[in-house]
Amino acid sequence: MNAERQEVKVKRVSSRKRSIDNLKCLLTPATKRGGGPCLQQCPQNRRVSSIMADGQEAEYCSDNEDLFGDYDSFLEDSSVLAKLDDAEQNARQHDIQPSVHSNAVVHPNPESLQPSEKDPEKKQACGNTLTDSILDALGDEPFEDVPASQLQFQEQVLQSVKRSRLQDEDKTSTPFRAAGGNSETAPEANTEGRTKKLTKARKSMAEQLKRTMLCNAASPAVLSRSVTLKEAVVSEEISVAMQAMETISTETPDLGPFFGLPSKVKDLMYTLKGIKSLYDWQETCLNLDCVQARKNLIYSLPTSGGKTLVAEILILRELLCRKKDCLFILPYISLVQEKVRGLASFGLELDFMVEEYAGSKGKFPPVKRRNKVSLYIATIEKAHSLVNSLIECGRIENLGLVVVDELHMLGDGSRGSVIEMTLAKVLYMSKTTQVIGMSATLGNIKDLQTFLRAENYTNDFRPVQLKEYVKLRDTIYEVEPKEEECFRFSRLLNFKYSSSMQKIDPDHIIALVAEVIPTHSCLVFCPTKKNCENVAVMICKYLKEEFLRHKEDKKAVLLRELKDSGNGSVCPVLRKTVPYGLAYHHSGLTSEERKLVEEAYSSGVLCLLTCTSTLAAGVNLPARRVILRSPYVATDFLKRSQYKQMVGRAGRAGIDTVGESILILQDKDRDMAKSLVSAPMENCFSNLMHNDGKGLLSLILSLIGLNITTSLEQVREFLKGTLLYVQQGHLCAQKSIWEEVQQCVDLLQDKGLITVTMDSHGQTMQVTKLGKATYKGSVDLTYSDVLYKDLSIGLDGLLLNSYLHLVYLVTPYDIISQCKPDWMTYFRQFSLLSVAEQKMSAAVGVPESFVARKAAGQTVKKSANMEVVSRMYLALVLFTLLKETNLWNVAEKFQLSRGFIQTLLSSSSAFCSCVLHFTEELEEFWPFKALLTELTRRLSYCVRAELIPLMEVVGVMESRAKQLHNAGYKTLAHLANADPAALCKTIDNLFKKQASQIVASAKMLVNEKAAALQEEVDDLLMIPLDLPTPSETDKLA
């Protein structure tokens, strides 16, 4: 008998209801799903919807009667529960009657729905409608677009089915089916019990269905599962974080699975750095409660423990999650440049700016970006100037995180005082900026915690085990600080020395290095620069010829690169040592030579470096064995921190299983060495009082200039947040800190840098124009009045047809004492000057007659200021270098080391930038602004003008710039759009990683310049906030 199609009249009221066509599901009648009449074919797996589809016409009259609230009835019939009750009652009546098979189900309309007796197969197939068809309908296809409570109902029913089918055949109320779908009748026995169970099962199912539907009716409308899933796939990682993020929340939102960062960051860590996983201590540190709550933190680990990676992850969290700028403070220019190169690729991939603040580079205040955040990577001095500029323009709150590497340098003279000033200002002016400090293990870490209001995390983890040894005569002892003697016998040196060899190498350095090279790497720390070169040459004399054949081709390439960097000249020492795989490393090398040597050592082309202690504090160059040639640095005995920093270079993570350090001792040094290896770590003390309180003077001047303080009381309040205040009991024993402050204020007033006035509220302090120029130019207070005097004199007869006068004015005062003039060279170079240039020299106090008499060895009747004379000599060195741009030739002419000239050049470039900022604050020096801007650029690169755009890219030195220029890459845009693979093929000796870093740095620089120009455009096009309204204009009229 055919089932008739039902007509359902539905009155729609709520606009939130969805189209029923989109909601066809398994509970919708088969006829409405386009399946044709259901009872004619009587499918094997009957749906409960087919039972309820027949009956009287139902009219859906009122929205008030809709039990489903914002949901439509899936059957378009509001009497679904009543029909279900009727079906159950009929089923119970039928079940009470004895039946052999008990598999006929009574329908709401028995006459129309009862199968024919003549069709036993159809009758048998239709018999399981109310039981199995319901259960199977729920299991055949997944539900779509249904509320959560219905899903829960489905899961419960399916679990019930599984439990029932695990029971015995004769205990179940549902017939089993064969694979083909035909039902088998249950045994006749226990019919009454089966009927009761059947009724109970049906009853509980109906009640549960009613309960579920009523819950759905009471629940608020939700989006469909499909829409929700699509949205979740698109924004799964970001949406979770944003729900928890509040506008002024101190917590960092969670953007993904990698310590709150998206998975992309983890992928980049592997792609760009080769890091697959973190050490346990790194994970522990990143998950600390104080880190999650954005509290300040100091964490201390041995050298090479992986401290920097933790800092980088925290920086990325701040940039990406909280959208705040970050400041990363590093001690040396080389480290800043290395970090800029390494993080530029992250900036491009994750859409933030990486800006370099080192030497003469850096804009004050930094460009204010509306759509991007910035990571400022700065040296100690530049970081202080940057913080000052942010405070002055009211943007310090935009700085979300400050990370300080080598925090223990707080105790390092004048540079330590600059770090303290920077951090104290950040802590005082911004309550939302987090401070993270990486430090070596210190004895008084509690003082630093109090100063920074920080938690402390300490771990002694090293990725590679370190074994410390000392050598006395021909015996090696293992260091055991816990034992009384400190040293425990390990072994004797097994190396035969001839008598002549014993004289040349009494410390058995050759024997110690021959045990590891060339298979493994070795560092030999020497007390002086000259000793580095001598030791490298000495070792080469006694190495076998097989060392020459080890990586011979690559060493030949290195020599060619060194020759190119020196414009055809190669250091004679390196020419001898590089073929053996050895080189020296100290400040006497040019920056390009150092870079080439470091890269060759890292790649294994060089297996041994002889170096000074500065290498331990600079670029990370680990080794299998570290040898300390002597327990001295120059003439000073090693400090515990210096020793730990050097031996910490032993052991290369991922390469070596163990690292070794060997300290070579003489008998006279044995007792001091015991103290060195067993003593606790040194304490770190404030240096604001260093050098007669110069740091405190500078701090007070900048506080007044930035309007942070205008009275003595406010100065005192600020100083309570300094390390000096924490340690005043130790550092201010003779004179109280407040007496020191009063003395500094008086001195600043005497120098004309501040004014003090009295009013009804007490003293008011204000900075003068000279004082403002001094702190904004970061000029040493010792030289501020001298600089002002020199610039004033210079204005009277400024020589504009030559750079000599300007170069003299920007030659640093503090480097004068490091060089004594060679009088014959002085006179020879002086004679080459033009008449105008010689007149200028005489005007500043260095006449030709004075230099001539000195060169001839005659007595000078009229004395001259020797500081001015020495400064002019250095100015001549710089002037010659700017004209020739060949550092080797200039070093030879003036009989100076090329390393010293490189240092002079970089110091002059930085000081020129300081003088430029100094003159910008003083109206009378307006002509210097344009002149010094160009001179700063020339001194920063000191190359031919066409190479300067390429030299702006971090990591591109002069020889590389020449290669790129000759290959057709002549502009920054050329490099930014270059293919790294093509660069490697075009440029000799350029590796893929180096090429990628160059391209990434160029792109970042282009983005930075473009963003700065775009900001200017936006500012020009923006409607002024203070634009007068028509009403205001009328009033004025």
In the 3-class helix/strand/coil scheme, how is 930-983 assigned residue by residue? HHHHHHHHHHHHCCCHHHHHHHCCCCCCHHHHHHHHHCCCCCHHHHHCCCHHHH
Q: 96-105, 282-291, 344-353, 624-633: which range is least confident on average?
A: 96-105
Q: What is the pLDDT of residues 294-312, one digit of tens each?
A: 999 999 988 778 889 999 9
The whole-number average pLDDT for the span 461-468 is 88
Task: Check residue 344 and give its pLDDT.
Answer: 93
Task: Check residue 653 and give its pLDDT.
Answer: 77
Q: What is the pLDDT of residues 235-268, one digit of tens each?
A: 555 554 455 444 434 455 666 788 889 889 999 9
The answer to whether residue 724 scores a pLDDT higher than 90 is yes
Task: Check residue 184 and give its pLDDT.
Answer: 41
Q: Which residue would you say has higher pLDDT here, 172 or 436?
A: 436
The answer to whether residue 686 scores a pLDDT higher than 80 is yes
Three-state SS at 758: strand
Closest CA to 626 of 603, 643, 602: 643
Question: Phi/psi of residue 609, each to 5°?
Answer: -125, 135
The answer to whether residue 458 scores a pLDDT higher than 70 is yes
Q: What is the pLDDT of residues 936-990, one digit of tens each?
A: 999 988 888 899 899 989 888 888 899 999 999 999 999 999 999 999 888 888 8
The answer to whether residue 137 scores a pLDDT higher than 50 is no
The answer to whether residue 768 scores a pLDDT higher than 50 is yes
Q: Which residue would you say has higher pLDDT here, 676 or 49?
A: 676
The DSSP string of 405-449 is SSGGGGGSHHHHHHHHHHHHHHHHH-SS-EEEEEE---TTHHHHH
The whole-number average pLDDT for the span 920-942 is 91
Supply 577's token pair.
């040592």
- Measured between alpha carbons, how far is 64 from 78 in angstroms, rounded to an integer? 11
The answer to whether residue 189 scores a pLDDT higher than 50 is no
Q: What is the pLDDT of residues 537-587, one digit of tens each?
A: 999 998 888 888 888 999 999 999 999 888 888 999 999 999 999 999 998
- Pair 304, 466: CB distance under 8 Å: no
- Pair 113, 42: CB distance under 8 Å: no
- Identify the top-confidence range among 14-18, 71-75, 284-288, 670-674: 284-288
Supply 408's token pair.
């223990």
Q: What is the pLDDT of residues 648-660, one digit of tens each?
A: 888 877 777 889 9
Q: What percent of the chain has pLDDT over 70?
A: 75
- Measured between alpha carbons, how far is 565 from 593 in angstroms, rounded to an integer? 7
Task: Check residue 192 and give its pLDDT.
Answer: 47
Order of strands, edge to edge, in the sheet holding 374-378?
Answer: 353-357, 374-378, 325-329, 399-404, 434-439, 296-300, 454-458
Q: Which residue would you say has higher pLDDT here, 31 or 479?
A: 479
Query: Vertex 953, ends 1007 and 941: CA angle to 5°?
Result: 130
Task: Check residue 349 and give its pLDDT.
Answer: 93
Q: What is the pLDDT of residues 859-897, one digit of tens each?
A: 887 778 899 999 999 999 999 999 988 889 999 999 999
| HSE-up (13 A, CA, CB side) for residue 375 | 32
Give the number of other CB atoms < 10 A from CB of residue 994. Answer: 19
The whole-number average pLDDT for the span 625-653 is 87
Max Cα-Cα span within the chain: 143
Query: Vertex 646, ends 644 and 650: CA angle to 5°?
Result: 100
The DSSP string of 522-535 is EEEE-SSHHHHHHH
Cα dihedral across residues 542, 543, 548, 554: positive or negative: negative
Return mean pLDDT, the chain: 80
Task: Check residue 439 and give its pLDDT.
Answer: 85
Start-to-end C-alpha separation, the chain: 95
- Pair 423, 453: CB distance under 8 Å: no
The whole-number average pLDDT for the span 1007-1026 is 85
The whole-number average pLDDT for the span 726-753 is 91
Q: What is the pLDDT of residues 365-396, one digit of tens each?
A: 898 888 889 999 999 999 999 999 999 999 99
| HSE-up (13 A, CA, CB side) for residue 954 | 29
| HSE-up (13 A, CA, CB side) for residue 1012 | 13
Q: 95-104, 202-211, 356-365, 724-733: which range is least confident on average?
A: 95-104
The whole-number average pLDDT for the span 690-715 is 93
Give the number of other CB atoms < 10 A from CB of residue 834. Answer: 12
The answer to whether residue 60 scores a pLDDT higher than 90 is no
Band (108; pLDDT cuts 50, 70, 90): very low
Task: Check residue 227 and give its pLDDT.
Answer: 57
Give the number of other CB atoms < 10 A from CB of residue 915. Answer: 25
Q: 242-251, 320-329, 730-739, 804-813: which range is least confident on average?
A: 242-251
| HSE-up (13 A, CA, CB side) for residue 240 | 11
Task: Check residue 702 and give its pLDDT.
Answer: 96
- Pair 52, 77: CB distance under 8 Å: yes
Band (210; pLDDT cuts 50, 70, 90): low
Strand-strand pairing, 636-637 and 658-665: unpaired
Supply 921's token pair.
């604050």
With 0-12 / 13-18 / 19 or more C-beta atoms within 10 angstroms meaning exposed / middle / buried, residue 390 is buried
Give the number of other CB atoms < 10 A from CB of residue 13. Answer: 10
The answer to whether residue 232 scores a pLDDT higher than 90 is no
Task: Check residue 957 and give its pLDDT.
Answer: 87
> How many residues would you count in the chain?
1037
CA 513 → CA 455, 510, 518, 599, 626, distances in Å?
43, 5, 9, 21, 9
CA 100 → CA 119, 654, 726, distances in Å?
17, 78, 96
- The residue to which tokens 């007669």 are assigned: 692
The whole-number average pLDDT for the span 722-741 is 90
The answer to whether residue 56 scores a pLDDT higher than 90 is no
Q: Read off the amino acid at residue 888.
A: W
| HSE-up (13 A, CA, CB side) for residue 327 | 32
Q: What is the pLDDT of residues 2-25, one digit of tens each?
A: 444 444 444 444 444 444 444 444
Cα dihedral across residues 611, 617, 619, 620: positive or negative: positive
Closest CA to 72 of 18, 147, 136: 18
Three-state SS at 857: coil
Q: What percent of the chain has pLDDT over 90?
A: 44
